Structure 1
């Protein structure tokens, strides 16, 4: 049986993912720099992070309560699987962070009496993943005590540059590490090993600037050396000039400062509201500027989703839907920042909308093609030929008619329109699309060109192995559903594909594989295998669809095209076959 849970395993991406085509009259964006090859975050991470709501007062009990709520809400089954503990879990004294016998931060036992490993075990037992937090450098207390570096003859004073202090938001008093000194990499390695032993699946390294590239590289090496798959995230407000470096070394990077407004009534601006509309709209330009750098293995992080607790969070319902739409179109990580124990039903429907999740998880960062005052239009073209277009009114007063021409989106001829928020197909339009939007409102559509030349054959209308089902429980599919075959060698789906003349034709199979294990298939035409053991690797979630395209020989008349599973895992979920 398939599961909706997003699986971000340590597997290599073997299928190329198409980037959006340039709109007519516009030059194509440069391809992204080489991504981290750690095999992680092939799709943007999804989950919850403690900073926005819990802020400076995390405890073991609070973390468990949020994990319980995430699992119970149904959002876990939509792909929200990370539970990330942010800053202020540490214990401090007058000289900064207290440290263990090897100079690493000590966890505050009053806040986490059972320890971090026990917390990670609790979260893992719920089918979730555990995230943790650190900043660059070495603690002053480690240097003062001259603690040994685990497994080496070196000590803290051998590697610390005490003339410079690193940025830190809590206990401060962090010295730079001199990576030219023996023992420096080994110190970071020992810290990473500790995290791996505790069961960390996601690590955020905060306070990172361009001057910290040696630290970023050291942590990348250290995390790899643990042998544990740990998604690696950088924060915050990183320099776009170094984007190729961030992409090479990490799996995500914060493109701006905090999305929180720090305007609540509690200490340090804590409490509701958590954010405001200005904090969200400021992300539009940074998302446009950073767009070329997003892709499988590395993502532009727009910061936490401020959705979950209704209007009190600081945004109207329209603004929260626009917030979700921009994050989805930008392929940003979706890390909820609200109080999951007090989820609002409207917001659960926003966060759990599988069509929006599929837009986020398709692995394509959209481009901005209209930027006129409060009117914005964003566009991405998927490998199957469909287009996803988001229209926004970012203003705070007055309705706006927001329009996009098909030439701006690179669409020829008429296109069938589906509203992705509601799921309703609204008909076929030609030339352009317009929507009257309230202040802060968005419209997100899928446009399928009618004259693109491709002919689609839905899997649910094909012939398939006995025991297969036509399902519709995972969003993002075409037609009325997709085919879920039995998990067995020989499970197949077979299409009848007519051709007016004999010759080679291009076919595209759209599929989803929410596991980390490949589900290869033999592809045959008229009984002859033309692509043996073709790879259909993990797509990151059952709501994330990808394409396999190949050229096959067709005869004049009717042809049978069959995809047959070659392992006991069976076939992936199959949505359709397109013939070019």
Structure 2
């Protein structure tokens, strides 16, 4: 009878699958330009170089990004920020088509030559602009390139845009076709120079039309250009920023402008108050981040040793928050003066992996100076960060595994040190110095268990007078229809899951209950077990949403429900065996490109020809030992590539195909650890095939 009823429950829940797996609210779609599948990594000129960029300084920072080993870790952007332009009393000087003129005294070889220099090092080049059209363009009435329109046709001279340098930027009349044509011409110029990343500054709720115009223009160039918005964008328009761009600044500048030089330049670049203020904004913006679009907390100010500004504990907390929030890691410090302490922070593979996992963490505890953040990665591991954000006094910060999102013991690894901390039963705590952090990986070692005595009980009591229960007791339902126990369970991903209810029924009649999963319910009997000390389990399969779910067991007769011990949750889906190339961490010139015939519709191009141009995938293996790995890619002819597992000795193979549109496969064998592993695909001397996906045998 129970088996038949459970089968009916499974069928009913399967029919309701669409309703059960729908998220409470549908998040806005991320930009579909194929870029920033993972947060960008690199360096930006604003924090250290500030208002005085030039060709020599930019080249020196590019050189240091490579020689320090940072580029090999994925820091590949060299971004030129503001003050590269030439101005007069009326604002920005312009070229013959009304676009900002580059100051030839600062950049005598031109921007293209600088971008070429950056590219030759296996890096990517970033640039800067603000909305609108310069007053000088309107005064000269410069033509719009490729059209019969002129600046005076498209400028609204009654309104100006925000600008932090030469000011005098008129708004554009996007009702006129020449306005989009003007932005197109500017974007085309940047693409011809080799720009890979564009920051548009001065964005707010009144500039949505400008952001839309730049998004259209960048796509039309045919060049992949990572599109970043700045700064202090209003969260009310979060869905818009996510639709149009690859990142958006959630606050004002992280720089303190408290140095001894002009305009507050020089060291310190920042202070703890400017870092710690990011905790609240990161928590508020968290739901809006994901592959293709990221919350930007501003530059990472690590690289000046213990000189001034933020001490070593605070810098580690700075790095930890940026990693947990999955924000772009764009360094703002002087790369030519890196200290060994800071370089070790910036190149910590475990921290980089947390940033690049494609998940923005949630804040689950905020109490005084104590904060705890958590995220669940694709392989089921939980990453937990504990912080003491205070400036004086140690504080003990703790969290239970149930607060993190699972029950039962977990294997804990300290991600800053790499040290294994063993099996931790049900909670974790650390006594932290002011400004200190603790970052751990918690890998649950058992099925997630939800004790009934810890659930929400309506018309029932917790008792412990019948032996054999788990935990501290069980729930004795009141003998009334409608008495219930409601569990809040967490699933790593949407999909089918096994729900096991442990119960005892010492009466002589079945005690049916309605089982509701996220509000959709069906009824199932709970037969007699012979005694109240005889416990049995009933397992059903139901579709769960990713994240939080509510499972409620409600009595349907005046007899109430059986005694209920716990609910166990176990996913019925095996760990992923296939991993898309575009989901990996891209470094150097590697870039995501569309591919109709490829799995997921995308692939990774420009792998190889330099050590920096690589793809690193994080994969999960159930056990340690040799494992077959099938690589799918596209290539016209034959090309070789290497695969390195966990930084070990690489295995070299070749892939032969008819063209770059038709995926072909080859298989190699590599040694994997039990649990999480990294697979790096590269070719130091020649181009490798384009990478579609990887499948573990």
TM-score interval w.r.t. the shorter chain?
0.7 to 0.9
Describe the shift of the 1:566–1:545 C-alpha distance in structure 2 as closer, same or farther (beyond 3 A). Answer: closer
Q: 1:564 aligns with which of 627, 630, 641?
A: 630
Describe the shift of the 1:293–1:260 C-alpha distance in structure 2 as closer, same or farther (beyond 3 A). Answer: same
Equivalent residue number for residue 167 of structure 2: 172
Instruction: Kindly indicate whether the alpha-carbon contact (under 8 Å) linking 2:34 and 2:592 is maintained by their aligned counterparts in 1.
Output: no
Tell me the SS of whatever aligns to 2:301.
Answer: coil
Equivalent residue number for residue 329 of structure 2: 334
Query: Segments of 4+ in structure 1 off by > 4 A?
Result: 28-31, 510-519, 532-544, 546-549, 560-563, 566-579
CA deviation map 1:462-512 (0-9, x unaligned): xxxxxxxxxxxxxxxxxxxxxxxxxxxxxxxxxxxxxxxxxx963423767
Tell me the SS of whatever aligns to 1:508.
Answer: coil
Unaligned runs of 5+ in 2: 1-22, 450-571, 606-612, 634-653, 656-665, 676-695
Give, in whole Å, the separation in 2 of the partners of 1:173 and 1:535. 44
Tell me the SS of whatever aligns to 1:192.
Answer: helix
Is 1:380 the equivalent of 2:391? no
Describe the shift of the 1:348–1:424 C-alpha distance in structure 2 as closer, same or farther (beyond 3 A). Answer: same
Give, in whole Å, the separation in 1 of the partners of 2:602 and 2:43. 29
Describe the shift of the 1:339–1:510 C-alpha distance in structure 2 as closer, same or farther (beyond 3 A). Answer: farther
TM-score of the aligned structures, taking structure 1 as reference length: 0.79
Describe the shift of the 1:397–1:117 C-alpha distance in structure 2 as closer, same or farther (beyond 3 A). Answer: same
Is 1:197 the equivalent of 2:265? no
Tell me the SS of whatever aligns to 2:259.
Answer: coil
Q: How many angstroms does 1:55 deviate by?
A: 0.2
Q: 2:282 aligns with which of 283, 287, 301?
A: 287
State how 1:27-46 maps to structure 2 within 5 Å. 32-46=27-41
Give, in whole Å, the separation in 1 of the partners of 2:214 and 2:111. 20
Q: 1:508 aligns with which of 567, 576, 594?
A: 576
- Taking only aligned residues, the RMSD between alpha carbons, in angstroms, comes to 2.8
Describe the shift of the 1:95–1:376 C-alpha distance in structure 2 as closer, same or farther (beyond 3 A). Answer: same
Instruction: Kindly indicate whether the alpha-carbon contact (under 8 Å) linking 1:252 and 1:299 is maintained by their aligned counterparts in 2.
Output: yes
Q: How many angstroms does 1:311 deviate by?
A: 2.4
Equivalent residue number for residue 343 of structure 1: 338
State how 1:89-488 maps to structure 2 within 5 Å. 89-452=84-447
Q: How many angstroms does 1:182 deviate by?
A: 2.4
Q: How many angstroms does 1:448 deviate by?
A: 0.4
Equivalent residue number for residue 618 of structure 2: 545
Tell me the SS of whatever aligns to 2:307.
Answer: helix
Describe the shift of the 1:180–1:38 C-alpha distance in structure 2 as closer, same or farther (beyond 3 A). Answer: same
State how 1:47-86 maps to structure 2 within 5 Å. 47-86=42-81
Give, in whole Å, the separation in 1 of the partners of 2:380 and 2:319. 24
Give, in whole Å, the separation in 2 of the partners of 1:34 and 1:574. 38
Describe the shift of the 1:194–1:405 C-alpha distance in structure 2 as closer, same or farther (beyond 3 A). Answer: same
CA deviation map 1:73-128 (0-9, x unaligned): 00000000000000000000000000000000000000000000000000000000
Higher strand share: 2
Give, in whole Å, the separation in 1 of the partners of 2:150 and 2:295. 37
CA deviation map 1:532-576 (0-9, x unaligned): 989996599745526799xxxxxxxxxx99653455455698856
Give, in whole Å, the separation in 2 of the partners of 1:574 and 1:274. 44
